[in-house]
Structures are given as C-alpha cells and as structure tokens.
Amino acid sequence: MNRLEETMSSLVASGGKGLLPYVTAGLPNVATTERILAALADAGATAVELGIPFSDPIADGPVIQSSFTRALDRGVRVADILAAVARFRRTHQMPILAMLSYSIVHRLGVERFLARAAEAGVDGLIIPDLSLEEAPPVAEKVAQAGLCMPMLVSPLSGPDRRRAIAALSTGFVYYMSVTGITGERAELPPELVENVRDLRAATGRPVVVGFGISTAEHVRRVCSVADGAIIGSALVRRIMEAEDAGASPDAIVQTAADAVRDWMTGLRA
C-alpha cells in the first residue's frame, strides 16, 4: 500500500474521519504552495488534493478557475509543481493527490508522467475528465506505478455505474455532493447522507465527499456517514483574498492553516 492507502485504511479501521483540503499549485507561487502543504500537514490534514492548473477547467467553479488563471499567468509548470512535492517529501509524509486534466497526462505521456509523479512523491491522481469507459487501461498503469486513482461518482450515476466506478477506484471513492461545478454552497443536498450511506454499503470502499463543502458544519454532516470531506473553493478563496489584501507569504500560509484547523472541528463534533 502507498501512503494514501495506508492512511485511509488506518482511518477506517479506527473509525476516524478525514479532512482533505484542495490547494491550487502555484498560488500565489510555487514556493508558497510548498509552505502551505507543510502547514496543512502540520495542522493535521489527512491528505491534500493539489490542483494542477489547466487552461480549460472541467468541473471547476469560478474561484478555482480564477486561481488557475493566476497561476498560469505567472508561468507555473508541471515540472515546478513536482519539484515542490519532492522537496515537501523530505520532511513530511502526508499523502498528496494531484488533481488534473487527463489532457496534461496524455500530452506528457502516461507512463512518463506517472513515473515522474511517483518519483516526486505524489500518491495518487484524481482525473475528473477521465470517463469510466476510458479509465481501465489508465487505472492499470497508475497501479503499476504504485499510485492510487480515486474516481468521481455523480449523484446522477445509477447503482450499477456507481459500483463499477467504485470497483475501479483505489484509495477511496470520490462522491460529488452535487452535480455541476465546484464552489461554496450554503446548503448541501438533503439526499446526500442517504446516497453516501448506500454507496459505502454497496461498495465496501472508503468514501470521501467533495463539491460544495465550505463550513465545519458541512464537514460534520458529511462525516456522519462518509470517511472524509474535501474543501476546495473555500480554501482557495481565502488564499486569494489574503494575497489581494497584500498579505505576506507567512500570513497567507497561516490563513490556510487556520482555515483547515477550523474546518477540522467538524470532525470532532
């Protein structure tokens, strides 16, 4: 098992719950991203989704789209991001999942990208635009590289498709709380608890919920049935707002860590 599999297995065995924040790589710059990763690990985050900026967002709402634009305008490159992960690995063992478009993987070459990601210390990939029908050969190569590949389950997916996606997923199954794009929401769908409970029971896999989660109360509700919660837009927004306010790198890193500590109170409620 790699770091993500070990972490999720231990979490489930102990009855614990996890928080998996999402961070845009290169925001506000790669050096600060690296420091944010370390701060979130020290704050107790279960794992981090590291978003690799892409010019044509897939399911990303306006906040993450804006963060991608900033990072790309500043010249962030995949090589820079992987180098930052490698430096992070010298001191921390928190699992990191790269969340990215399959276009990036394909353009660099699947085997070549996977080898570079594994060497840097990435533990898994989340590829939102890789369909179930196209996923099996990629999943096989991901496994051969020693990485995990959680796949996304939509609320609109039927029972058979949900089970097929879960069977192909490794590390955990990523359940989308809502259809459409990412972004903060005041309320989560009333059917979320039942859907997650059914998915977990039907598949026997750890289930982590993302899309729309933005408060400690959301985390509490989600983790009443799921094994973990993902917060993305709410954290990225705080980082961008701190930068726009002229905050120093130290203050931006602290802003991210404080937000994650606050959301983690939902795990203990």
Segment 27-49, tens digit of pLDDT: 999 999 999 999 999 999 999 99
Residue ranges per domain, the chain?
3-268
**Measured between alpha carbons, how far apart are the two ends of the chain, in Å?**
30
Instruction: Return the CATH class of domain 3-268.
Output: alpha beta
Strand partners, 48: 96
**Residues 73, 228: Cα–Cα separation, whole Å:** 33
pLDDT score of 149 more than 80: yes
pLDDT score of 193 more than 90: no
In sequence order, the 6+-apart residues with CB closer than 8 A to the CB of 112 are: none
In sequence order, the 6+-apart residues with CB closer than 8 A to the CB of 105 are: 113, 114, 125, 127, 138
Full-model pTM: 0.93
Q: Say whether 125 sits in a helix, a strand or coil.
A: strand
Active site residue 134: no
* Catalytic pick among 5, 34, 49, 227: 49
Residue 268: its pLDDT value, please?
A: 73
User: What's the average model confidence in pLDDT over 143-171?
Assistant: 94
**Residues 60, 256: Cα–Cα separation, whole Å:** 20
Question: What are the E-state strand segments in 104-218?
Answer: 124-126, 152-153, 173-176, 207-210
**Residues 156, 243: Cα–Cα separation, whole Å:** 37
Split at pLDDT 50, 70, 90, the class of 179 is low
81-127 pLDDT per residue, tens: 999 999 999 999 999 999 999 999 999 999 999 999 999 999 999 99
Residue 181: its pLDDT value, please?
A: 45
Split at pLDDT 50, 70, 90, the class of 184 is very low
Residue 137: its pLDDT value, please?
A: 97
Residue 60: its pLDDT value, please?
A: 55
Residue 183: its pLDDT value, please?
A: 45
Tell me phi and psi for residue 99, to 5 degrees.
-105, 120
In sequence order, the 6+-apart residues with CB closer than 8 A to the CB of 210 are: 20, 22, 174, 175, 176, 177, 182, 229, 230, 231, 232
**CB-based contact 205:238 (threshold 8 Å):** no
Residue 204: its pLDDT value, please?
A: 87
Residue 195: its pLDDT value, please?
A: 86
Tell me phi and psi for residue 111, to 5 degrees.
-60, -40
User: What's the average model confidence in pLDDT over 4-24?
Assistant: 96
* Catalytic pick among 6, 34, 42, 60: 60
Higher-confidence residue of 38 and 200: namely: 38
Residues belonging to the chain: 269
**CB-based contact 25:70 (threshold 8 Å):** no
User: What's the average model confidence in pLDDT over 221-234?
Assistant: 92
**Residues 15, 50: Cα–Cα separation, whole Å:** 26
DSSP character at residue 148: B
